[in-house]
Structure formats: C-alpha cells, structure tokens
Structure 1
Amino acid sequence: MVLLGLAFIALNTAIAYAAVGSKVISIVTGVAFCLAFMIVVRLLHRAMWLSLLSFIPGLFVLVGSVELAPDLALENRGVRQQVTVVDAEVAGKRHTFTLEGDDGPLDEPLIYRGSAPDYEIGDTLTVLTDPNGVIALKEADRVDSTAKLGSLVLGGSGWTFIALVAGWRGHVRRREGRFDTLVI
C-alpha cells in the first residue's frame, strides 16, 4: 500500500509536468488518486477513520504535485528578465501590471490577486518567463519548487504513516481473531 501511494504521487506529478499548461487535468487525476488511496485503505483494512484521515495528507499530495510542475518548469526553462513596472490596472482584487524590459514592453502582464500588492509603478524586479508561452510569468523570488516538493514529501510521509498504522491495525486484529467490520 505504501508503494501504491508513492506510485500515485509520482504519476500525478508526472501528469502535472506533462500537462503544465492546464492545471485542471492534474487536479482531476490527483483527486482521483487521493480517492483511490482512501478506498484502498478502507477496503484492505476496514478502518473508515483511517480512510478519512488519509484525506489530510492527500491534500498535501494534491497541492504539492499540481503546484510543483509550473515552478519546476520555470526554473528549468524559464528566461530571467529584469523589468520595470510601467502601468497598473485594478479590477477588484486582481491587479494587472504592465512590464517593460530592455527589449521593450512584455507581451504578458504580471497578475497579482490580493488586496495589497508589493509592486508600484517604477519598481524594478526580476521575472521568469516561459519561452513556450505556456506558463504565466512570475516574479523570480516567488518561484520555489523546493517548498512544493516539501509539501509533496509531507503528504507522502502522511500516507506512508497511515499505511503502516493500517497494516499494524490489521495484523493485531487478525492475531486476536477479530475479523468483523467494525468502523473503529
């Protein structure tokens, strides 16, 4: 069961990297893998509480695998550019900043979702752009695949712990001759 969980993590991360332009695909497959892991825990070890508990590390697995791919792709193939903020538009909590580099204005704006952006007109910052145009540009300081990998490892560790607890629980119940389907 531990290997199954690790295979789900690796497979969803690979799917997210292959479909880096569309997060929907990796989110759908990630949710399916998380639900499959929950069902396997429930069917093999007859412990609904462990199955529901596996949802928490499943969230870390889902977020880590989906968010790791764009940051990793930008780190590997992204082009680092020094730009200046020349214009800003605000629509609710969506801030759109027009950027200008050494070669003129960039085709893609920097988008910030929130109430208090860190950028003002005239600020100079470093961004990473995707030469393929698949991934939205990001400020270079905000691209951190190590943090996403940490989330993925935390989720995988949680699934491993749950698999070990479920296996121990099943072993103890079989040794004591209790084969009923108690929830607890």
Structure 2
Amino acid sequence: MNNPFAKLPEVEAFRLTSHDIAEGLPLPPQQYASGVEGGKDLSPHLKWSDAPEGTKSYAVTAYDPDAPTGSGFWHWAVINIPANVTELPTGAGDEHGTGLPQGALQLPNDARLERFIGAAPPAGHGPHRYYFVVHALDVEDIGVDRSATLAVLGFTMLGHTLGRAVLVATGESK
C-alpha cells in the first residue's frame, strides 16, 4: 500500500486523538461529504500532545492516498496554527474557519475550496484511508501563499517539520 511518508525524512512522532474519529476505524457519517447520505463535511475534533521541543507552529492536513487520481486527494489543510494551540473542535474547518485560532489559514483543498471537504470514495472502489496529520513546524509562519497547492505546502514544510502526529481512519462508498 502506498505510504504518503515513505520518501520523506523520518521525524519525531507525537500523540493525536479525536472525539470523532479513531485509528483504523470507519469515519462517522458527519465526516463524509455533504453529497453522501448523512455527510456533513464536518472536520473532526483533533487534539494533540507531546510535540517536539522547538515547535513554533502547526499545520493540519487531511489526505486520501487511495483516491483514484494518481496523486490522491487532499481534503483539508490549515497552516500557521500557533504553538500554544493543541486542539481543534469538530467543524473548525468550515468555510469561515469558525473554530480555528487567530492567524491560522485554510489553504484550498483539491476541490479548490478553503475548507474541509468530507470523504466521498467512488462506488465500488473499496476502502480508502484518510490520513489526519498534525505537523509540528520550526517556524511561526510556513510562508506559503494562501492560493498555494498542497503539494507546494508539503514541499515547503519538508525542511521545517520537527514531528508528525498521525491518525488514519477509513471510509468506503455509502
């Protein structure tokens, strides 16, 4: 299976938990796209701890490496989360970033929306993995333009990532 971190430098792992999603378990309906039965496009609650020393900010990403695109599908990205913030509430990734801390910025996902978009794996495609990742960074501002692609974000974070907290949930077409 493709591992999105296979060719990245190893970094320190830290802890990520959620009231909404759990490691290896199916996403609840609210984390599916609004066009899917029961889907609400709600970003999950995320809480992290034990980040590496020297962390100055965080970025949060949500990625499906199993999407049939050749490049996966980026569902969400938030950058410039201050180092003193260690939790995002359910729904923080709405179109207004209602639950995001001051200074945090949502970048356009692969649907080119500056918000969280829920899971919507194609019918008959089988299970997909959804990587929710908190990246601990050594800079307060990662310095990418608000219209940057998430590939550009990933490349820019490459030399600034001190650690990663990862939670992988699953989803199938409904």
TM category (shorter chain) comes to under 0.3
Please, what TM-score do these two structures have when normalized by structure 1? 0.23
Bigger strand fraction: 2
Please, what TM-score do these two structures have when normalized by structure 2? 0.24
Bigger CA radius of gyration: 1
